[in-house]
């Protein structure tokens, strides 16, 4: 896959990488202390526009069940440890990202 996503939970940043080079960085919100974002290597297994609830305008599910990268109806939560483990993005950012990366894209989550 030419695209990969790298997430730093401590920096609260998501980096979009193409052919080994960072082409875009986004601010994110991550899991809180009791429900941390799980570290590891996953893949994007599905995409759901307008999933409803607190997930904003787009859901991209990860190969780890019940976890994903999604938009938010609370933009002030970006940059904070607030979720139940998912990665939150501004709605315009998650829409942009979802148009670029295909299903099957590797997602690496580190502390």
Q: Catalytic residue positions?
A: 70, 86
Q: Report yes or no: 82 and 88 within 8 Å, Cβ to Cβ.
A: yes
Give the contacts of 89 (CB within 8 A, at least 6 positions apart): 14, 26, 27, 28, 29, 56, 69, 70, 71, 72, 78, 97
Query: Contact, 45 vs 54, CB < 8 A?
Result: no
Continuous segment of H or E residues that includes residue 95: helix 91-100
């Amino acid at each position: 896959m030419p695209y990969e996503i790298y997430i730093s939970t401590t920096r609260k940043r998501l980096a979009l990488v193409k052919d080994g080079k960072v082409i875009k960085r986004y601010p994110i919100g991550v899991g809180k202390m009791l429900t941390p974002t799980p570290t590891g290597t996953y893949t994007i297994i599905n995409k759901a526009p307008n999933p409803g609830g607190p997930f904003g305008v787009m859901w991209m599910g990860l190969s780890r069940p019940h976890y994903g990268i999604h938009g938010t109806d609370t933009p002030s939560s970006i940059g904070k440890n607030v979720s139940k483990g998912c990665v939150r993005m501004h709605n315009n950012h998650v829409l942009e990202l979802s148009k670029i990366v295909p299903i099957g894209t590797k997602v690496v989550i580190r502390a």
